[in-house]
Amino acid sequence: MKTDAVIFDIDGTLTNSIRPITVSWNRHLASLGISYTPLTKEKAASLMGKTMDAWAMAVLPDLPLSEANAIAEVMEQKENEEILTNGTDLYPGVREIFETLSRTYDLFILSNCGKGYIEAVMTHAGIEPYVKGHLCYADTLKDKPENLRLMIQQYDLKHPVYVGDTPHDKACCDTVGVPFIFVSWGFGDVPDAQYRADSMYELPGVIQKL
């Protein structure tokens, strides 16, 4: 099998955005004059990779989900603005390795994040020229397995691999039948992962072995 595409998770794989997310969410929540649960760094870390429904209910547990989601949509815009203005905490080597991998593979990003988040991180990281396409929960309101299947169909990918940092990422790949590469620097632990990278710089070598 010759890998033809590499699909990346974003949070815990390309960036740790806890800082801009907590700053922007808490600033906006405080401005609303309603009861809310402040978003701590620990809470944000536990929510990384989950859908926006989970994020909305974590900070607005007393509101109906529809109302909480409406507010969360605004907070998504606020976090994107924060990232574009003040940046996010990228992991070492992201732009360099995207440039390297793009010479051999088509590169994609697939995440459970909100609308505009992938674009904001790509802009800050300077990796837009290397990314063929991206898809997130907000685009389809579907979880990762469904979106992974959709991305494979849309781009007619024959032998893609997925790079992520959580057990949910691995479970998604197992469901769809896509090889999974675990990156150890993120928010989760996948001790039974067949493939593993301990830095971005190891990824090209790991992918070549698939």
pLDDT digits (tens, 9 = 90+) for 118-159: 999 999 999 999 999 999 988 998 989 999 999 999 999 999
Tell me how far the alpha carbon of residue 201 is from its chain's centroid: 19
* CA angle (133 as vertex; 94, 148 as ends), nearest 5: 95
DSSP state of 1: -
pLDDT score recorded for residue 63:
94
The sign one gets for the Cα dihedral 194, 145, 54, 49 is: positive
The tokens for 83 are 């990232």
pLDDT at 1: 64
Amino acid at 182: F
Average confidence score pLDDT of the chain: 94
**Alpha carbons 147 and 51: distance in angstroms, whole number:** 13
At 27 the pLDDT is 94
Q: Compute φ and ψ for 49, nearest 5 degrees.
A: 90, -10
Whether residue 6 has pLDDT greater than 70: yes
Alpha-carbon torsion (48, 59, 84, 117), positive or negative: positive
For residue 197, the cross-strand partners are 183
Q: What average pLDDT does this structure show over 74-93?
A: 94
pLDDT of residue 137: 87
Q: Assign 2 a pLDDT band (cuts: 50, 70, 90).
A: confident
- pLDDT tens across 186-204, in order? 999 999 999 999 999 999 9
**Position 97 pLDDT exceeds 90:** yes
Give just the sign of the alpha carbon dihedral 168, 143, 37, 23: positive
Query: Any idea what DSSP says for residue 132?
Result: E
pTM (2 d.p.) = 0.91
pLDDT, residue 78, reads: 93
Residue 146: the pLDDT is: 96
Domain extents in the chain: 5-16+90-208, 18-86
| Eight-state DSSP code of residue 188 | -
Please tell me the class of the 5-16+90-208 domain: alpha beta
Q: Give the pair of three-digit tokens for residue 138.
A: 């907000």
pLDDT band at 49; cut points 50, 70, 90: confident
Reduced to 3 states (helix: H, G, I; strand: E, B; else coil), residue 205 is helix
